[in-house]
Amino acid sequence: MPFDELHEECGVFGIYNSPDRHAAVHTYYGLFAQQHRGQESAGIAVTENGKMKYHKKQGLVQEVFDEEMLAFLGGDSAIGHVRYSTTGKNIVENVQPIVRNYREGKIALAHNGNLINAHELRDEMENLGAIFQTTTDSEVILAQLVKNRLTTESLEEAIQETMQIIRGGYSVLVLTNDKLIAFRDALGIRPLTLGIVGDSYCFASESAAIQMVGGEVIRDVAPGEIISLSREGLQSIRVFTESSRFCSFEYIYFARTDSNLNGLNVYSARLEMGRQLFREHGVMADMVIDVPSSGMAAALGYSYESGIPFGRGFFRNSYVGRTFIKPAQNMREAGVNAKLAPITENVKGKRLIMVDDSIVRGTTIRRIVQSLRDAGAVEVHVMVSSPPVRYSCFYGIDTPKRQHLIAAKHSVAEIQQEIGADSLHYLSLEGLRHTLSGASTGSCLACFNGDYPIPGDLTEQSKTCC
């Protein structure tokens, strides 16, 4: 789904009591493993001997940090963050972790997700004299936390009070001079996993990041849970829970295929999505291809279930990334071809099943279908391993406004005609539920059916980037 895609807004990693001052290095690799979750900026805050220091900057993880900087940071404990921002929000002030001075010293916060009442809370605090230095809802969480700490006995109690006020999907790491605390929204919409590296506890948005640093996954942080790490050990507090509604798009597209989320492996889930696509629609052809690389596992599933051979339909240029010069209006096709080019000898004269994870605006897939026809494909049947995306997300995914979602205003038949495919088939909502039935939690399907799990004013203004 290159160029025309949904974006996860953040990834977090944290480690407590890392031996030999390696907290920053562990966090660097934890963030590197989650680079796909945010490519605009990266940052790490560490504590050592009761003091905090940090470094954060716009850019990829390996651009922001080098050996010299990691050695300078060192650290016994650390939290880190990678970020993707919405248009107009990629400014240096918004780079995380957010670090502030408060009554008891320095405090740092890293956040993945989105609050639907951030504007309301921000206005209330500004009217009382609060000063904000960023445009993020992450700073709203931190401001509420610090405010509540003035009237509570501990930081954990302040977090409990804060969780009663903020509304939305979030996973948060908080670092102070002597503690690392993680907490997750009551519905468990955004992911957060607890692991162990040697004698050190760690947290990550995805289990693959814990494995990257040589750790072992213990479990997911439960919806509505606070986990506090200090010299007294690990303390778990369950504030409140509701029926869990974990983001289904983590399985469809965002998460790494080697991650396990809520007891369900991402690769296995995507394979089953492809198998289910064939069971539901049964379209036959000469070869199954994927739109690299997010559609690969589902394409393999379709191939396994149908018996149609899987082949490579495209060359994907891995070096076309976030710094690639966006083509002018009359050069859009050249821009797509620079990243994704048909392998003519493999597709010429064939009837193709092309599998992708989703269709957002529909502009890119139309050009991809045409490029296959130009390369000599006889037929192009598009299979999508998710239901039509008809509604915007307000819980931590950067989706276009609803009027820009092609499925919000067009039927499947109209979309098929718009993208120029010989046929177009989506995974059904029931089919998606079936593929996710092995997860230990329920799923949020709001972007497909409009059933938002958190009541409130869900407007485009609510989509403050983390």
Give catalytic residue positions.
10
- Sequence-ordered list of residues with C-beta below 8 angstroms from that of 220, at least 6 positions apart, any chain: 188, 191, 192, 193, 194, 261, 262, 263, 440
**Apex 165 CA angle, 172 and 53, nearest 5:** 35
Helices and strands in the chain: count of H runs, count of E runs:
17, 25
- Sequence-ordered list of residues with C-beta below 8 angstroms from that of 362, at least 6 positions apart, any chain: 4, 406, 415, 418, 419
**7 vs 36: CA distance, rounded Å:** 9
DSSP class of 221: P
- What Å distances lie between residue 80 and 23, 53, 65, 208, CA to CA? 10, 12, 12, 15
Structure tokens at 305: 């279930």
Q: How distant is the alpha carbon of residue 339 from its chain centre? A: 22
Closest C-alpha to 57, from 71, 72, 45: 45
H-assigned helices in 224-379: 249, 266-281, 296-306, 332-339, 344-347, 363-374
- What Å distances lie between residue 41 and 61, 70, 83, 92, 174, CA to CA? 7, 16, 5, 8, 19
Q: Which residue type, as a one-letter code, is found at position 446?
A: A
The CB density around residue 312, as the number of other CB atoms within 10 Å, is 15
CA dihedral 428, 431, 432, 438 (to 10 degrees): 170
**141 vs 83: CA distance, rounded Å:** 17
CA dihedral 365, 432, 276, 346 (to 10 degrees): 20
**216 vs 194: CA distance, rounded Å:** 9
Orientation angle between helical segments 332-339 and 363-374, nearest 10 degrees: 70
Q: Which residue type, as a one-letter code, is found at position 238?
A: R
